[in-house]
């Protein structure tokens, strides 16, 4: 995730929170991320800079994911 300049610890945290996921794992075990994940990290960093708490950012991302996957509460 060299494009974003984030630490390995933050990267692992974002994966654990399921805000991003590797698009590919190479034979040597290196994780590769797609443009969508890079954009998500940049959005996360922007929201942090604006003062949003991590829990709120996680809810925002989950809501967006639910809408994209068709699992939003509005459809239930």
Domain that holds residue 54: 8-70
Domain at 25, CATH number: 1.10.1660
- Residue pLDDT, tens place only, 47-71: 999 999 999 999 988 887 667 667 6
Q: Read off the pLDDT of each residue in 6-20 and give the average, rounded to a whole number.
A: 90
Q: What is the pLDDT of residue 72?
A: 54
- Residue 61, C-beta contacts closer than 8 angstroms, at least 6 positions apart: 17, 19, 40, 44
User: 18 in a domain, yes or no?
Assistant: yes
Q: Tell me if 75 is assigned to some domain.
A: no
Size of the chain in residues: 76
Domains contained in the chain, number = 1
DSSP for 44-61?
HHHHHHTT--HHHHHHHH
């Amino acid at each position: 995730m060299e494009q974003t300049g984030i630490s390995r610890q933050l990267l692992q945290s974002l994966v654990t929170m399921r805000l991003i996921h590797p698009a590919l794992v190479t034979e040597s075990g290196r994780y590769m991320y797609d443009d969508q994940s890079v954009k998500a990290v940049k959005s996360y960093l922007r929201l942090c800079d604006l003062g949003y708490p991590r829990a709120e950012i996680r809810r925002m991302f989950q809501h967006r994911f639910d809408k994209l996957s068709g699992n939003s509460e509005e459809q239930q």
